[in-house]
Structure 1
Amino acid sequence: MVESAAALARHLRQGRDRRLAVLEWFAEAGMPPTTPGTVPVPEPPVAAVREALKWVLQRSASQRLVEFARSAAGAGEEGQDALYAAAGRLLGSYRGAAHPAQVRAALVTGRDVPAEAEGPDFGSMVHLAAAVGLGAQEVGADALAEALAAFGMFGLTAEDWAQMLSAAERGEAPGADWGALRQNADMVAGVQRASDEELVRAREVLAGLRGFYGLYVLHGLLLPDTPAQAALRQRIDAWGMFPLLDHVIAINPSPRQFAEALALCLEPLLKSMYEVLMEQVSEDPALFSIPGDATGAGGFGESWMRALRELSASGRAASEGDDA
């Protein structure tokens, strides 16, 4: 009881809603102790976590868009126009980050990151939002293909998705389960349906994917490469999942970001990705061991610091040369 009160108090501040503190406590409880012998953070009551998740998600842009999409159903062309306008406002013009491999290449060569390295434009996701409320037939295969391609999953282009959707419409391939899309788009309902164990498992999935995503991003910042890291990136690339992870994962999330990402980690796709990556780590756990370097993790860290110092020195030299 004392440990629980102390954990909650760490995240409470004057004027702050208690539910935000509960979410931060839940996130903290899922992290391993920082030092050996440290007492683990106790778990908050899962019922309180569930209510906090629902409260935050109900106020999220994603959930508001789902509810707006439902209200637009049956409202004709005027409702469709209003839905697209609302989706455009809520989704904004977010683009994913440049791919870490291209960032690394630019740092090594001293060149700028090419403009085409910028991540996918998620603005086309308005079409999926429309499909939730208006139905896939109202949106059309081409628009939906554009939206699905924005995720970048499985390396499929808009043309690939369009061919598959058209084949499904003609009865030549299994049809898409748009009913499942409508159901899964409602994150509040997903949290409500999830068992206590599933919420805890989703936290584990989210924490694991955050670590794998972080390694991938740091590859772009000259983190020493190892065969084990390369194998992890290869697994992620085989699924075409980096753009989605970049969209979902925040390294230091706010309670709102944590709640939305946790709700997404209830879905089978991200759970499967986590299991695949954990399997890869079990096969080759030497993430921080440079081949031929007997110093292990210590040498790995020193190698990274050296690379960053050299990069900084070359940047200063280039700047001084330009000034001259």
Structure 2
Amino acid sequence: MAAALARHVRQGRDLRLAVVDWFAEAGLPQPGRPMVPEPPPAAVHAALMWMSATCPIRKLIGQAREARTEPDVDAFYRVAGNAFDNEPVAPIAFDVTDMRAAILARRDLGEDLPSRSSGRQAVVQLIAAAGLGVDEIGADAFIEALATLFPVLPLEDLRSALGDCELSGQMDTLLKQLAAFGVPPVMQAAGIGELRRARTVLYQLSGVAAFYRGYALLMPDTAGLAALRARVDELGAGHLLMMVTGWSLTRRTRDFVAGLDACMQPWAVRLNEELMKQIMDGPPLLGGPDGALTAEKFMNDWLATIKSLAPAER
């Protein structure tokens, strides 16, 4: 336990962050090493509650909801505008088939992806919508912010819904409910067993998301991977996978907590059950019917495809 904790502690870092990172590490397969022991449940719960309560986005939403005057609103935008200077705000969803085709065609993707500044602005707009209401920023700005961060959403359908006064009011109410300041009740009431189950769901969904993203990055296709990708698309879950499992790319403590919270929701549990069933009942993901596609051959084929696209002078 001392060794596990020491891997995540450094001078000046809050010990609660180290406990969350330790909890994230515990239970993962450790080839050639003993399993990492679980941290004390009380310490895990206290650390997660502290992180949820001190989430910068949650605090900004709280500030927006408390704004009563124009100067208050201006102050919110001032703070929010500076809050994400060092945050890796980036698109979290994209069409994997289109991305793969673009890379194979050697097409520059720079113009297709939002800039860091537009990503930060979109996050601020969504926080303002959640804290102040959609009417504060306007339906068009709300749609534009969603399009920047979630390019695969059916935005025309949402635009039509927001044009309806009744649905617009429902959207505004929903955003305010989601923006409730404080600790998420589901995590607050969860026992250690529920938190560990949510962690497993996050690990498993992250694995599926890695295969799903990998297709865009020229990962070799197999019957099993194609069937899994088709099931994800059939469920309309591609962008959700990328959103929930952002931690698997960033390895940031706060992203893990956000993913853990999402994976405690019933929809995430059901999605994971569907995808695990596909993996168990469908074709093998890598091996193939004759077992000829070893992990080594899979990686060699992947690297060969990438190298074949490199300019000759490089």
Smaller-chain TM-score bracket: 0.7 to 0.9
The Cα shift of 1:40 comes to 3.0
Unmatched segments (≥5 aa) in structure 2: none
Aligned to 2:36: 41
- Please give the secondary structure, in 1, of the residue aligned with 2:198: helix
Aligned to 2:272: 274
1:319 maps onto 2:292 in alignment: no
1:231 to 210, 223, 227: 227
Q: Deviations over 1:83-131 (max 9, x none)?
A: 344334335693316644344334434x134445426964334343223
Q: Deviations over 1:204-236 (max 9, x none)?
A: 122112111111222233221122212322333
Q: 1:25 to 1:205 in 2, by over 3 A?
A: same
CA distance in 1, matches of 2:77, 2:240: 22
CA distance in 1, matches of 2:131, 2:309: 54
Alignment of 1:155-304 (within 5 A): 155-157=153-155, 159-167=156-164, 169=166, 177-183=174-180, 186=182, 190-248=186-244, 249-251=246-248, 253-284=251-282, 286-290=284-288, 294-298=290-294, 301-304=296-299
Ranges of 4+ aligned residues in structure 1 off by more than 6 Å = 170-175
Aligned to 1:64: 59
CA distance in 1, matches of 2:25, 2:77: 38
- Please give the secondary structure, in 1, of the residue aligned with 2:287: coil
Aligned to 2:100: 104
CA distance in 2, matches of 1:24, 1:128: 28
Aligned residues of 1:66 and 1:186 also touching (Cα < 8 A): no
- Please give the secondary structure, in 2, of the residue aligned with 1:315: coil
Q: 1:66 to 1:296 in 2, by over 3 A?
A: farther
Amino acid at match of 2:56: A
Please tell me whether Structure 1 or Structure 2 has the larger radius of gyration of its CA atoms. Answer: 1
CA distance in 1, matches of 2:307, 2:35: 39
CA distance in 1, matches of 2:231, 2:80: 33
The Cα shift of 1:288 comes to 0.7
The Cα shift of 1:136 comes to 4.4
Amino acid at match of 1:96: P
1:83 maps onto 2:76 in alignment: yes
Amino acid at match of 1:215: F
Q: Given the two structures, how large is their TM-score scaled by the length of structure 1?
A: 0.76
Amino acid at match of 2:218: L
The Cα shift of 1:277 comes to 1.8
1:8 maps onto 2:14 in alignment: no
CA distance in 2, matches of 1:230, 1:105: 16
CA distance in 1, matches of 2:57, 2:169: 33
CA distance in 1, matches of 2:13, 2:291: 47
The Cα shift of 1:61 comes to 2.6
Aligned residues of 1:154 and 1:240 also touching (Cα < 8 A): no
CA distance in 1, matches of 2:200, 2:190: 15
CA distance in 1, matches of 2:173, 2:152: 16
CA distance in 1, matches of 2:72, 2:60: 13
Amino acid at match of 1:90: A
CA distance in 2, matches of 1:276, 1:154: 21
Aligned residues of 2:125 and 2:137 also touching (Cα < 8 A): yes
Q: CA RMSD in A?
A: 3.5
Aligned residues of 2:20 and 2:253 also touching (Cα < 8 A): yes
Q: Given the two structures, how large is their TM-score scaled by the length of structure 2?
A: 0.78
Greater CA drift, 58-67 or 21-30: 58-67
1:29 maps onto 2:26 in alignment: yes
CA distance in 1, matches of 2:309, 2:4: 45
Residue correspondences, number: 306
Q: 1:225 to 1:169 in 2, by over 3 A?
A: same
